[in-house]
Structure 1
Amino acid sequence: MRVLVILAALLLASLSAPAMSQPPIPLPVVAYDKYVLPNGLQVILVEDRRLPIVAVNLWYHVGPANEVPGLTGFAHLFEHMMFAATRHIPRGLADRLLEGAGATDSNGSTDLDRTNYYDTVPANQLELALWVHADRMGYLLDVLDQKALTNQQDVVRNERRESVESEPYGIVEEALSHALFPKGHPYYASVIGSHADIQNARLEDVRQFFASYYGPNNASLVIAGDIDKAKTRALVERYFGSFRRSPPVARPNVATPPITSERRVVVPDRVELPRVFMGWLTPPAYQPGDIELAVAAHILGGGKSSRLYKSLVYERQIAQDVDATQNSYGLTSTFVIDVTARAGHTARELEEAIDAELAQLRDTGPSEREVERARNSIETALLSSIEKLGGDGLADQLNHYNQYTGDPGYLPKDLERLRSVDAAAVRRAVQAWLKQDARAVVTGIPGTPVIDDPRAPKKKAAPKPAAQQHINADEPWRAKPPKAGPAPAFTLPKGESFKLANGLTVIHHHNPALPLVSAQLVVRSGSAANPVRLPGLAGFTAQMLEEGTATRSAPQIADELAQLGAFMDSGTSADASSVSLLALRSTFAQALEIMADVVQRPAFPNAEVERQRADRLGELIQQRDEPDMVAAVAAAGALYGARHAKGYGQLGTEPAIRATTRDDIHAFWRRHYVPSNAALVVTGHITLDELRALAEARFGAWQGEAAPPAAAGDASTTRARLVLVDQPGAGQTALRVTSIGAARDTPDYAALQVMNGALGGMFSSRLNNNLRETKGYTYGVYSAFRLDRTPGPFIIAGNVERAATDASVREIFREVRAMREQPLPPDELAAARDAQLLSLPGQFETSGEVGASLAELFVYGLPLDWYAGLPRRFAQVDAAQVQQAARTWLAPEKMIVVAVGDRKKVMPQLQPLELGAPEVRDDDGQLILKKEGK
């Protein structure tokens, strides 16, 4: 059958039936074909014609589990190497061709047991994706050289600085792995490895690794989407069938010594709040005890209905956030609890409170109702994850099942094992595995981190190229990229809309692929509607909606949603506030009733206001630990000024959070959360008639006067060209080059998107190719226009190596000027334009993505057929329009450089750039001194 999910029974329970009388939904079955080529490549095909796109997902069964001591991080480094040149594809060409063909979700990743590579492409470009993946598998060694290795060593070391050393608690979490496993164990190091080992990798090591692990007999290929299976089989045979096997790969067989007495480590980090990590060694993936511990993790730390949240965050208010996870891997799994302290509380308090909850769970076990909540939530999350074909969606899940169970169609069995878990089984698993003397406790505390980041050796003259290795015979026909097939016809989502008598707009889009329904209640008022004296008020109000109504307390809301297997969240942007909901079709009506209650009847209890005040103050403290966020808030203040609502982050400021009263929150809700200012956007497995009845029943009685228009104030942009935030000891500089750009209704919309794609919006963009791929200054840099109701910011952002701060700024301005001075060459224009145009279907894979897009149309007053006309607008963009857009919206003389990093090391670099005296701001983005001398 040409469907993603075949249901064992077609009749799902009625939307209006009581939730507690619902039987479990029928087990979904993924219709797939699996076969093996003579060279050992496993191939898994799934035909799904929902959209004219195809996901290509290739797993190599190799990761850190296969590394040898002294080469930690090698599997991940090699992942990067696979994007270098191959015999038939010069470096960078694959990215340009795939993006120009409309690819989405193009990337790779490494975890402890595997490395994967994936692309989602328009259906007529499947052959292009196979050509790229096949040439990497068959012909990487033919041209692999030291230059490519040296560049990616620089990139990966910058990735480590960004994702581990600059990431709050990154080195603390790494220390947990060191505490759980002995040195020499494959899981001892983090996936990314150490600077020393990354730098010490030799070209010969890379070649040997490829020859050992990257043969077809150590790989599995999933192709899922709009395919013809017979034609796809022929293409797979053409591109992969002639490759030779690699030597047989022995599966890692490493004994993990048990922990017999508690291990304790304290790690200083550049953070303000202590965090406690507790870790245990647990059964491998899909072995007895694994799923029971996954349920236990949800009971302990899975959202607001969990025990740790209720006790530590809600009741005692000693924790800022809690989490618990069963991380399932091949050699052994880990069960990890991590809890961040609330300001003024200690790690010792957290540890004692966690221990009390663990003891209670061990002694008495969970209730059956708690287990049911956890099962339902995990099931909804699993089903929603396969709604997407590519990325970490369906194709990746099939490869995951295939590696760990040998059965890519394991989904119904996975749900069966989940549904079979009961309270007694969870208690037994907790008693057996989560013992106090079998754990590691790692505490992150505020302090100066110890980071081993040796300098790379000075670059020597390039050695004579070594003789290249050739595993597979050359086939000259591979030298030309395949031509695309006939362009598939596609229609972008166009919702159906109606209004209730009270003025509420309701927008519907039907997608019956999975028994899931997504909803958003969006209002046209966000942070731009904040009063100047209370930045953050819109976000505070949205956060309070889930904290109690006239008939439900905050814990009751959390428990009821979890019981239904539903997820609800609230938040704000500059121009909108929203409450989002995801639920199974069978429980959507009950979940929507809760959503309607929190939107229409919030109580704003004083005690909850004080709880959330403390939470927001804690979030503000945590925000200071994130260099990217600090840069973003400082940039907003510099661009818009203190008298403009956009001059702040969504959290606002500490004085404003402390000054906000319950009356302020209630008044904002009363003025803005009214039906004439709102839309209910519902997408998924629900018909228009069903939604019409539900919307009238849940929202028909909602009343309210018309909302006032937002008045954000006048921007007061700083005259300074350089804004500095000092973070002594930072190994990288978080850079933002920014100016005020366009509004959402700009007639230049299509030209702006094409121009930005070429400049910094795509991986193959000029900025990323220059600073990452050529110079190795950064793990990545991007540019974007935030198109608000009133002009939003244009940003160029990235974390760069500290010593390359000045060079990075120079290159950024060089690329901006070049975009203004010369029209895009025809090939570059076509690639940037086609990347926008042809990727459109891939941007509407899930009901949540469709709903968010339809909600955006409502917020900005655009017609529901706006997306239908977007392909034509993109197709008409020419080089002159792109250059004019660059000249209009990219004004180097108006751009402000925001640098968050070690001032003593960075400022001497920036002085020669003649940006003038710096404006200095603090970690909250607030002005310290207007200007300061050199």
Structure 2
Amino acid sequence: MKPRLPCLFPLLLALAGLPAAAQAPQGSPAAADATLPRIAFDKTVLPNGLEVILVEDHRLPIVAVNIWYHVGPANEAPGLTGFAHLFEHMMFAATRHIPRGEADRLLEGAGATDSNGSTDYDRTNYFDTVPSNQLELALWVHADRMGYLLDVLDQTALTNQQDVVRNERRQSVENRPYGIVEEAMNHALFPQTHPYYASVIGSHADIQNAKLKDVRDFFKRYYGPNNASIVIAGDIDKARAHALVAKYFGSFRRSAPVAIPKVATPPITRERRITVADRIELPRVYMAWLTPPVYQPGDAELAVAGQILAGGKAGRLYKSLVYERQIAQDVAASQNSYALTSTFMIDATARPGIDGAQLEGAIDAELKALRDVGPSDAEVERARNTIETAMLTSIEKLGGAGLANQLNQYNQYTGDPGYLTRDLERLRRVSAADVRRVAQAWLQPNARVVVTGVPGTPDFGPDVPTPKPSTKPAAKAARAKAVAGINRDEAWRRSPPKAGPAPAFTLPGGEAFKLPNGLTVIHHYNPALPLVAAELVVKSGSDANPDGHPGLAGFTAQLLQEGTATRSAPRIADEIAQLGAFLGSDSTADASTVSLLSLRSTFGAALDVMADVVQHPAFPTAEVERQRAARLGELTRQRDDPARVAAVAAAGALYGPRHPYGYGQLGTEPAIRATTRDELAGFWRRHYVPSNAALIVSGAVTRDELQALATARFGAWPRAAATAPDTGQPGGSKARLVVVDKPGAPQTALRVTLLATSRKTPDYPALQVMNAALGGLFSSRINLNLREDKGYSYGVFSGLRYSRTPGPFTIAGSVRTDVTGASVAEIFKEVRGVREQPLPAAELAGARDSQVYSLPGQFETNSGIGASLAETYVFDLPLDYWRSLPDQLRRVTAAQVQAVADKYLPPERMKVIAVGDRAKILPQLQPLGLGQPELRDADGQLP
């Protein structure tokens, strides 16, 4: 995978007879919405076997293209673990008609979003969401990969992607807390000969041992049209879309039929136990069982069991381990469903001072109760309702992991892309007796694996060196030699198709009104799905933290859900789950938010709970102490994550210890320990007032309904004057090099950063275009240099965090330890390049168009619409801001891009933050002329 960053349509969910939200019933969503949703799709099969699934939806001028190849680690040969994933990366290399890197450049320049690929045990997928006039471009790219990759596949491309994938393994497994613990759990579940034994990414040795012949054979065997299905969902005409698929894919030859893997998974008849050392501070216990395959009897029941055990704050394990006994920092449980077998997993992270044995005993007690007594009917109903809302939410988005991908999943596993209706039916049939039965049948102690991750020195296995590429002329000639392909070349494929007329689009602007107490309400009507998203946004975040109280805003936001004058914390969790809703609260640099997602039918009842936590938090002393312990535990966990430590160290270096932005949202251990209940309540009283807040609602609720609901739930909120934050001036470190020591780390988490400008700057459009070209896109200069050309990293990207006051510009990523210095040197080279020369016309057009035409993708979901409208409120932008932005972006010139780069990115002001093995990286960084290093502790703070 590449790191990345209307009316009811025939498409979707013809749910009839929904009651008005202002009069929503208080009961079960399943009972209220008796009509099951149906997805209107067309499915055909081309003569060569390619399955074509089309969904027409004109909400936005975008279309999702999603291809599944029915191959994954389930099909890998012994000794080639991770090969399916490595091959996924190879599909982004050159093809006969598309030079390496050109597809990414063209797609991103066309405004593509969610452009990526991924590998799971049973499948590999590739997907893009593009403006509707660029559908043909997306099909041209995907078709050339399927039909003509083999023609130009060479050792250079393989060697490059082996470097990239090994960097991905270092970043996602070896340098990620608990990564190797999870890998060990897989190894314990399956014998070494089983295709699910290894992690999807495989081992260094197997990645490096892959040969070009293996890649060619894999392509011929599994990447034929008869082993693939394509879903196109969005703003299309189905007849034209089908004709385009036939044009681009119809002439491809079938591959030999692919046999469905037949693998017997040996049952676990005796408990297996492993202890794994990792670079962590808190122990974590994993338990795993082998369970029925996807969509088979028992699969849905176990999904409900996972929700009952650890589905948020209403889960039994959360209530027992996290809330009541306070021995766990977090807990999770899930049914992970696959074709050959599924796995049911529970994991719990210990609080400081707690060992794995205590966690295990508490988990066992809850499992025994589930087996012996079973859940209550109310627990099952809560679980079903929550899962159902999540299922509907997952298809709110067309691309990425959304609707198109879900149809492909249903198609592969059941043969029916419209299986959603039956999926919901099987969920709604699950009873308390069913959950008890599957717990007794599948979740027995003698049939499980128990893996405990403990603090220690990790064992990554033997290091496998990366061979140096040959520079002999013969090798160069071999790389250039063409190979006979599978499909006949067709001259018309040699040039990318011309785009259709650019789609006209108007982005949501929202409609605002005020309640008499001063509360701003911003509404956007979006009836495409029976869902509603709401945010209560307060214009005070960490910028309002008093001196010496870092983290106070976040601590306050966290406490809102932990009890009101009339509701306890457990009651809040149970009510929200019963309604099938999701409630959250958080803070950022400039705002604090309480967010809500619910079905339309239960929005009124869910808004009751949201309004209560906003207006009547009680800050009970016992809850303050619970959350204090939780924040201290999270601070401990943060130390294990190099990227998070780098972010905290960068904030401190940029802003200094007297500035509220100089810390992470958690704050510091002394501040957490010293915070009192009165200080938390005081922050809420000063800042959570109607004149400082907006209720932003997007979804299937009309303006009149919302006005009635907002008045009823928030109209009595007393009017009060807000306290305006005063951040003062940044007082950052004079040092330009900041180092945090992580002995033995296989990678260095890097940040190259400086303070830039505020959100309301008139330079915003030019800055966005500049950033896209420099480091914001996959095809940007920095990422192509460090990932694709040098093989130093899995991905390095840049971005601006805008605030009311100047926020940071940051270039961030993880690089191999041995090339830390070289990576920083290359980053500075790219920064100088964008300052010294104007962007070439083609690069400017691509960067500019990527920003213009990707904007509709920001408004696919109600939560996305709400977040965009919240941004206008927090930063005092006009409500029609998003509608006017495209034209501002279109007018950006190369001279403006160069000017903002010159103005905001002077290299001599940039600070380098490096979290890694100090003994190995400091000698590489010192020759770069960054001056004396400033050493920070494991928290990213000055000692």
In the TM superposition, residue 6 of structure 1 has moved relative to its aligned partner by 4.0
Shift of the alpha carbon at 1:352? 0.3
Distance in 1, matches of 2:761 and 2:191, equals 58
Give the C-alpha shift of residue 21 in structure 1.
7.0
Instruction: Return the match for 1:330 from 336, 339, 350.
Output: 339
The residue aligned with 1:18 is 25
Amino acid at match of 1:259: I
Match of 1:9 in 2: 16
Report what 2:194 is aligned to. Answer: 185
The partner residue of 2:537 within 499, 519, 522 is 522
3-state secondary structure, aligned to 2:314: coil
Per-residue CA deviations over 1:163-208 (Å, capped at 9, x if unaligned) read 0011110000011100000001000000000000000000110000
Q: Which residue of 1 aligns with 2:395?
A: 386
Shift of 1:635: 0.4
Deviation (angstroms), 1:14: 5.0
Q: CA separation in 2, counterparts of 1:575 and 1:709? A: 11
Is the 2:21–2:603 Cα contact (8 Å) retained in structure 1? no
The one-letter amino acid paired with 1:456 is T
Q: Label 1:21 to 1:264 Cα distance change in 2 as closer, same or farther (>3 A).
A: closer
Does structure 1 conserve the Cα–Cα contact (< 8 Å) formed by 2:32 and 2:601? no
* 1:856 Cα deviation from its structure 2 partner: 0.7
Q: Distance in 1 between matches of 2:892 and 2:159?
A: 38
Given the alignment of the two structures, is residue 779 of structure 1 paired with residue 790 of structure 2, yes or no? no
Whether the 8 Å CA contact 1:502–1:700 is kept in 2: the answer is yes
Deviations 1:358-409 (A, max 9, x none): 0000000000000000000000000000000000000000000000100000
User: What's the offset of the Cα at 1:331?
Assistant: 0.3
CA contact (8 A) 2:13 2:529 kept: no
Q: Is the 8 A contact 2:749 2:814 kept in 1?
A: yes
Give the whole-Å Cα distance in 2 for the aligned partners of 1:799 and 1:534: 31
Structure 1 residue 709: deviation in Å?
Answer: 1.2
Question: 1:548–1:604: 8 Å Cα contact kept in structure 2?
Answer: yes
| Aligned counterpart for 1:476 among listed residues 491, 500, 504 | 491
3-state secondary structure, aligned to 1:843: helix
Aligned to 1:932: none
Q: 170, 195, 204: which one pairs with 2:213?
A: 204
Kept in 1, the 8 Å contact 2:333–2:346? The answer is yes
- Is 1:893 the equivalent of 2:908? yes
Alignment partner, residue 100 of structure 2? 91
Per-residue deviation, 1:467: 5.5
Deviations 1:106-136 (A, max 9, x none): 0000000000000000000000000000000
- 2:155 matched residue in structure 1: 146
Q: Distance in 1 between matches of 2:166 and 2:296?
A: 36
Q: Distance in 1 between matches of 2:657 and 2:926?
A: 27
Q: Does 1:460 align with 2:461?
A: no
SS of equivalent residue, structure 1 residue 278 = strand
> Contact (CA 8 Å) 2:532, 2:698: kept in 1 or not?
yes
Within 1, Cα distance between the matches of 2:11 and 2:450? 43
Instruction: Spell out, residue by residue over 1:60-113, the C-alpha distance to the aligned partner (whole angstroms, 9 max, x if none).
Output: 000000001110000000000000000000000000000000100000000000
* Preserved CA contact (<8 Å) 2:852 2:890: yes
| Alignment partner, residue 700 of structure 2 | 685
Does residue 438 of structure 2 align to residue 423 of structure 1?
A: no
- Is 2:28–2:385's contact at 8 Å kept on the other side of the alignment? no
Contact 1:15 1:585 in 2 (8 A): no
- Partner deviation per Cα, 1:463-485 (whole Å, 9 max, x = no partner): 32465131000001000000001
Query: Is this contact kept in 2: 1:15–1:587, CA < 8 A?
Result: no
1:924 corresponds in structure 2 to 939
Aligned residue identity for 1:40:
G
Following the alignment from structure 1 to structure 2, what is the Cα–Cα distance between the partners of residues 327 and 127?
35
SS state at 2:259 partner: coil
Task: Name the residue aligned to 1:106.
Answer: 115
Could you tell me which amino acid in structure 2 is paired with residue 177 of structure 1? N
Q: 1:435 and 2:450 equivalent? A: no
Match of 1:626 in 2: 641
Residue 911 of structure 1 deviates from its aligned partner by 1.6
Q: TM-score, length-normalised on structure 2?
A: 0.98
CA distance in 2, matches of 1:3, 1:642: 56
Unaligned runs of 5+ in 1: 929-934
Correspondence for 2:79: 70
Secondary structure of 1:498 counterpart: strand
Please tell me the residue identity of whatever aligns with 1:639: L
CA shift in 2, pair 1:295/1:907, >3 Å? same
Deviations 1:19-55 (A, max 9, x none): 1276241211000000000000000000000111000
Report the Cα distance in structure 2 between the residues aligned to 1:592 and 1:153, rounded to whole angstroms.
51
Structure 2 residue 372 is matched with structure 1 residue 357: no
The match for 2:319 is 310
Match of 2:3 in 1: none
Q: Which amino acid aligns with 1:914?
A: G
* % same residue: 72
Q: What is the match of residue 931 of structure 1?
A: none
1:167 aligns with 2:176: yes
Between 844-853 and 703-712, the greater mean CA deviation after superposition: 703-712
1:861 aligned partner, one-letter code: D
Q: Deviations over 1:131-181 (max 9, x none)?
A: 000000000000001001001000000000000011110000011100000
Q: Matches of 2:790 and 2:482 in 1, distance apart? A: 26
AA paired with 2:597?
L
Shift of residue 458, structure 1, vs aligned partner: 3.1
SS of residue paired to 1:5: coil
Question: Which digits, 9 at most, give the CA deviation of each residue in 1:608-634, with x for residues without a partner?
Answer: 000000000001001101100000000
Measured in 2, the distance between the counterparts of 1:320 and 1:508 equals: 37
Q: Does 1:509 align with 2:524?
A: yes
Among candidates 771, 775, 786, match of residue 756 of structure 1: 771
Give the secondary-structure state (helix, strand or coil) at the position aligned to 1:223.
Answer: strand
1:2 shift after superposition: 4.6
Is contact 2:25–2:601 with CA below 8 Å preserved after alignment? no
Cα shift at 1:240: 0.2
Matches within 5 A, 1:261-340: 261-340=270-349
- Matching residue of 1:637: 652
C-alpha distance in 2 between matches for 1:10 and 1:772: 53
Letter in 2 for 1:194: S
Contact 1:670–1:704, Cα closer than 8 Å, also in 2:
no
- Equivalent-residue separation in structure 2 for 1:686 and 1:303 (angstroms): 26
TM-score relative to the length of structure 1: 0.99
Shift of 1:10: 3.9
**Partner of 1:587 in structure 2?**
602
Contact 1:293 1:426 survives alignment (8 Å): yes
Q: How does 1:644-793 map to 2 (within 5 A)?
A: 644-793=659-808
Query: Could you tell me whether the CA contact under 8 Å between 1:3 and 1:49 is conserved in 2?
Result: no
CA distance, structure 2, for counterparts of residue 722 and residue 20 of structure 1? 58
Structure 2 counterpart SS, 1:304 = helix
1:18 shift after superposition: 3.1
* Structure 2 residue 249 is matched with structure 1 residue 233: no
- Cα offset for 1:705? 1.9
- State which of 571, 577, 583 in structure 2 corresponds to 1:568: 583
Q: Secondary structure at the match of 2:534?
A: strand
Corresponding residue number in structure 1 for 2:890: 875
Is this contact kept in 1: 2:22–2:708, CA < 8 A? no
**SS of structure 2 residue aligned to 1:362:** helix
| C-alpha distance in 2 between matches for 1:556 and 1:901 | 44
- Counterpart of 1:243, as a letter, is F
Contact persistence 2:756–2:904 (CA under 8 A): yes
Q: Deviations over 1:556-587 (max 9, x none)?
A: 00000000000000001100000000000000
Task: Give the superposed CA RMSD.
Answer: 1.0
- Secondary structure of 1:483's partner? coil
Give yes or no for contact 1:4–1:513 (8 Å, CA) kept in 2: no
Check whether the contact 2:73–2:81 (CA below 8 A) recurs between aligned residues.
yes
**Are 2:256 and 1:247 equivalent residues in the alignment?**
yes
**Any idea what SS the aligned residue of 1:772 has?**
helix
Cα separation, 2, equivalents of 1:778 and 1:184:
31
Q: Structure 2: how far apart are the matches of 1:839 and 1:8?
A: 30
* Deviations 1:628-676 (CA, angstroms, capped at 9, x unpaired): 0000000000000001000000000000000000000000000000000
